Amino acid sequence: MASTAIINKAAPTRAVKYGSMSRDRKWALRWSYFFLTLFAIFSLVKPLYMLITSLKSSAEISAATNPWWVFHPTLENYIGLLTSNQFLRFFWNSALVSIFVVTITMLISVPAAFALARMRFWGSATLATGVFLTYLIPDSLLFIPLFKMFAVFGDWTGIQLINRWYVLLIIYPTLTVPFCTWIMIGYFASIPKELDEAAIIDGASWFQTLTRIFIPVALPGLIAATIFAFTVSWAQFLYPLVFTTSNDQLVLPVGIITSLIKGDVFNWGQIMTGALLGAAPPLIIYAFLMDYYIAGLTAGATKG
């Protein structure tokens, strides 16, 4: 208290003494806005350009008029894609995969995080570190051995998993579970111990402590982890490219690239429409739940 009082007293005197401070500050502010606008243009030009192109007819695109403006806006690309069974199939596959993966991820990582955060057992500290290290292992290291593993598994058991969309349900959790567990450990560890002690004294079992105390209290963390799991499984490109090939098994990112690009003919209007529709679910989630999104993003590093 004493220190803040001193600082508050000191601040006005300094401002009076150096009258130029406020002018400097104003200029700094102007420069900040100038550069921020520049960077905002740099980062938003892409989605806007996607939107512009998606509203053009292919005739207008090939006419090579000003690419930054739509002269005859049309929805034909949207109508074309949203009535094409193939595109809807990709969308459906993507949605199905993402929803299942989110569910699986939560079912695995929440109990595990609870156990690692609260119940100390043999090897729990090592396991927590191991979880974080697993998160760092990139998909591009694992796709070849995984592909071979599933091929061998298919030969042994006769259960063919390659080129089925549900193989992604087995593989995606390797990307989502470690990170979700890691941020849930962080959130669970920040809950005061008194809360679960009180619950245990009242006769709650471990399971009840988890569902009645930990999950409600750590709900923001849970939402952040869910968003992360969803965006990762929606955006994943390498695994579906490796594991699925036939048209009815593809998810959106791969589907757009393999089916809309036919040889050298690029139907850019449709490709951009597809890309925009593919980017829409994460963008919508982001627009509404930005704070959770950012909390999940920063939790990974600040708690690491």
Contacts to another protein from residues 145-164, by CB under 8 A: 145-149
Q: Which is nearer to another protein, 89 or 230 (CB)?
A: 230
Could you say which residues in the range 162-191 bind another protein, by CB under 8 A?
Answer: 170-171, 173-174, 177-178, 181
Burial class (CB in 10 A: 0-12, 13-18, 19+), 223: middle
Closest among 194, 246, 227 to 297, alpha carbons compared: 227
User: 33, 71, 166, 288: which one contacts another protein (CB under 8 A)?
Assistant: 33
Rounded least distance, CB 79 to another protein, Å: 20
Residue 96 exposure: Cα atoms within 13 Å on the Cβ side? 15
Q: Rg of the chain over CA atoms, in angstroms?
A: 26
Which amino acid, one-letter code, is at 297?
L
What does the alpha-carbon distance between residue 36 and residue 44 come to, in Å, rounded to a whole number?
12
Could you say which residues in the range 243-302 bind another protein, by CB under 8 A?
Answer: 253-254, 256-257, 266, 268, 271-272, 275-276, 278-279, 282-283, 286, 290, 293-294, 297-298, 300-302
What does the alpha-carbon distance between residue 167 and residue 244 come to, in Å, rounded to a whole number?
9
User: 75, 82, 88, 137: which one contacts another protein (CB under 8 A)?
Assistant: 137
In the block, which residue shows the tokens 């009258």?
19
Write out the two tokens for 39. Answer: 């960077």
Nearest-10 Cα torsion for 246, 248, 254, 259: 80
Write out the two tokens for 168. Answer: 């992604």
Could you say which residues in the range 89-108 bind another protein, by CB under 8 A?
Answer: 107-108
Site string for another protein, 37-56 (x = CB under 8 A): --xx-xxx-xx-xx--x---
| Number of amino acids touching another protein (CB under 8 A) | 108
Count of CB atoms situated within 10 Å of the CB of 25: 11
Rounded least distance, CB 248 to another protein, Å: 20
Rounded least distance, CB 137 to another protein, Å: 6
Residue 221 touching another protein (CB under 8 A): no
Site string for another protein, 63-82 (x = CB under 8 A): -x-xxx--------------
